[in-house]
Amino acid sequence: MVQKHVDDVNPDLYCYDTGLTFGQEAADKILEQVNKDVTYFERRVNYQDGRDMNTLIRKVGAKKTRELIRRKQQIETLWPGQCPIEFKQYFLNNEFGKLLLKQTPNWLKISATEPDPMLQVSDSGDLLPVHKGHYRRCSLFMLLESDGQETRWYRNTDSFEVIDAVRIPDMDKVEKVVSVVMEPRKWYMFNHFEWHSVHKFSPGGRRVSIGVDFNSIDASTLLTLIKENS
């Protein structure tokens, strides 16, 4: 169940249980291949993790690098002793993606390139720290495997610069507004363009998800499209 933590927020704009049921055959085949050999899928790297300080300094300069380090320290203070998970994205530009798109309702196909199917596998850590999407604005998101992790969304309480190289917030200027423990094999509208984090990874646990991503429309537009057609 999606929970809201402030009164003046519409939780549907962050995460919405769509009730859609398409793509189960594709989901079965994708998870089977992940369990067999995940390297079959081509890696997709649309972000930087900011761990290489020299690369970061060359990209954004010393001043912004210091600010990013300060923001990382905020996260370490809020969740002491917790290590970031290994977060890997993969293209579904093969027979699995074609099958998923074939099973996707036509009213969700807004252009020749959208939605764009993708795969995520996360493990070997405790949390996915607060961040927001670089390119994808929203998606239909389905967990294939999960240990009951909790996803949280945040909104700004004050303005601050979003440093594109590593999109992490000033935690003194955001507040938690929505949280959810998503159920496997259900399609959720997921807002990637708002700050969000993932918590409560079990030791040795794994989180596998697929999505059909949208880069050109926002969560409000996708939500309206879903509600009009389901």
Note the pLDDT tens digit of each residue in 148-190: 999 999 999 999 999 987 899 999 999 999 999 999 999 999 9
Instruction: Please report the beta strands in the chain, taking only residues with DSSP state E, as ranges in sequence order.
Output: 3-4, 15-17, 43-44, 86-91, 116-123, 128-131, 138-145, 150-156, 174-180, 187-191, 195-199, 206-214
Distance CA 91, CA 213 (A): 11
Domains of the chain, CATH where assigned? 3-47+83-229 (2.60.120)
Contact indicator for 168, 132 with CB cutoff of 8 Å: no
Rounded to the nearest 10°, the torsion over CA 74, 48, 95, 205 is -30
* pTM, 2 dp: 0.94
- Name the 3-class secondary structure at 72: helix
Q: Is the pLDDT of residue 47 over 90?
A: no
Contacts of 28 (CB under 8 A, 6+ apart): none
Longest dimension (CA), the chain: 50
* Helices 53-60, 62-78: inter-axial angle, 10-degree rounding: 130
